[in-house]
Amino acid sequence: MVHSEILGSLFGGLWWLRDASWEKTVDCYSPGQGLMPASFKVRTVALDENKYEEVVDPDFGESAIGRVAPVDSGLWWIILLRAYGKLTGDYALQERVDVQTGLKMILNLCLTDGFDTFPSLLVTDGSCMIDRRMGIHGHPLEIQALFYSALRCSREMLAVNDGSNNLVRAINNRLSALSFHIREYYWVDMKKINEIYRYKTEYSMDAINKFNIYPEQIPSWLMDWIPEKGGYMMGNLKPAHMDFRFFTLGNLWSIVSSLGTPKQNTAILNLIEAKWDDIVGRMPLKIGYPAVENEEWRIITGSDPKNTIGGNCGKRSIKIYKLDASVFGYWQFTMACIKMGRLELAQKTVALAEKRLPLDRWPEYYDTRTGKFIGKQARLYQTWTIAGFLASKMLLENPEMASLLFWEEDYELLEIYVCALSKSGQKKCSRFAAKSQILV
């Protein structure tokens, strides 16, 4: 049953290849080829008096709130394709010509050269989490973690031939640059905050404050919130802007994909444990911390009523006072805990969910800071809520299955990372030296 549903999702992702008649247009403009639909509807069309045909209407962003094309759906499709092969042993699907073409189209779209100087993927606001303004435009952590994972998946699945050699080379180059960039510049702990606190404006090649960040950007809540032995990947990094909010999905997927170092991954789980009431509360897991309120809410969300503390925030809202009780929360936290040997944390969250979700009729989300109330307009008996809970239960019962889905440290990438950090790009680094410097 599960395998057939996964297979259906994978085949569904090939729509844009099979029918060129679909025009992904908003007014007079069309986005690039390789875009994955965020959702679709199936409608029945009458052919004649007794014959009907089902037609799929995909939404590439032309019907979305804010008319924002999805970035994360294509990355998830690649990740799901690899997971299907790992769990079933059926690798024939990923070897198909149309699937290989789909992989290349998505990768070419993501790896296209542009004006950006960062290796992280530049996206518009609302291109992930939810199709409305959220203040995460630029280089949000969630997209970078999924991008990194999709690149590692693609490197495993791409058929190596004359037509893909350049693409494989581009993937390797981007992976090493991306891992260095995220580990070095997105990481936040007490040591890093102390460094930022003393930043000055600099212009040289050897500048410490490379992105023109001013210490006044450090929010007051962060000073007392971050624990001594914990840390996390910040939500976003752009020129002259650091978004210090904690976003759960990006941090969990950094652990699962080994985008973070082993020590960083351990520190992320330490922070979640230390700040359990803020990140978990009565129902795991919240999207992020802290909530945006008052004038900040008005500026960041454009006064969107669905991003208010008491409003209908939907499955993927920005605000903290809501539970993401879904496949995007439970199973990823369980995977991260299994990978890092912290089963007790995953068991604790699943026990909370098992006690409350059936009584609450499997709601879409929860409101208030601790998740005390069922969401004001939450849908009940939500598929992703049930699926995420069941996946977590199955992973806890069979932890060895999780090892098929997460990634370990890639020492070839790490070798390049250490060379870049030591500013010795002209000098060859040894694999032994790289292993000895997993965390800087």
* pLDDT, tens digit (0-9, with 9 covering 90-100), for 196-237: 998 887 777 777 888 888 888 899 899 889 999 999 999 999
Give the dihedral sign, CA 64/149/286/301.
negative
- Statement: residue 438 has pLDDT above 60: no
Rounded CA separation 222/226 (Å): 6
The confidence band for 101, taking pLDDT boundaries of 50, 70 and 90, is very high
Gap between the Cα atoms of 289 and 297, Å rounded:
14
pLDDT reported for residue 36: 77
3-state secondary structure of 312: coil
Short-list 411, 258, 233, CA closest to 340: 258
* 125 closest CA partner among 211, 67, 75: 67
Q: Would you call the peptide bond into 227 cis, given omega within 30 degrees of 0 as the criterion? A: no
Residue 305 sits at φ, ψ, to 5 deg, of -65, -20
- Which DSSP letter does residue 286 get? B
Tell me which DSSP letter residue 378 carries.
P
| Banded model confidence at residue 321, pLDDT cuts 50, 70, 90 | very low
CB neighbourhood size of 404 (10 A): 11
| C-alpha–C-alpha distance, residues 149 and 115, integer Å | 23
Hey, what are 45's tokens? 């069309």
pTM for this structure? 0.85
Query: What are 141-184's pLDDT values in tens digits?
Result: 999 999 999 999 999 999 988 888 899 999 999 999 999 999 99
Structure token pair of residue 156? 């495993």
Can you read off the two tokens belonging to residue 264?
């960083």
- pLDDT at residue 56 greater than cutoff 50: yes
Closest-CA residue to 364 (of 374, 354, 351, 378) = 378
Q: Residues of the chain with pLDDT > 90: what percent? A: 41
Domain positions in the chain are 68-423+433-437
Predicted confidence (pLDDT) per residue in 347-366, tens digit: 999 998 899 999 999 888 78
Indicate if the pLDDT at residue 413 is higher than 90. no
Phi-psi region of 237 (alpha: psi -120 to 50; beta: other; left: phi over 0): beta
With beta carbons less than 8 A apart as the criterion, state whether 218 and 111 touch: no
Cβ-based neighbours of 259, under 8 Å, separated by 6 or more: 144, 145, 148, 149, 178, 179, 182, 183, 253
pLDDT digit string, tens, across residues 12-50: 555 444 444 456 676 666 777 777 777 777 888 888 878
Mean pLDDT (whole number) for 413-439? 55
What pLDDT does 374 receive? 81
**Token pair of 331 as six digits:** 């199973």
Tell me which of 55-69, 72-86, 401-415 is least confident: 55-69
Model pLDDT, residue 186: 96
Distance CA 437, CA 239 (A): 28
Distance CA 356, CA 369 (A): 17
φ/ψ (deg, to 5) at 232: -165, 170
Any idea which of 91-95, 196-200, 303-307 has the lowest mean pLDDT?
Answer: 303-307
Strand arrangement of the beta sheet that strand 288-289 belongs to: 187-188, 232-238, 241-247, 288-289
| Sign, Cα dihedral of 83, 84, 90, 94 | negative
Look at residue 310 in the predicted model and tell me its pLDDT: 42
370 CB contacts (<8 Å, ≥6 apart)? 277, 281, 282
Q: Tell me what pLDDT residue 122 has.
A: 92
CATH code reported for the domain at 68-423+433-437: 1.50.10
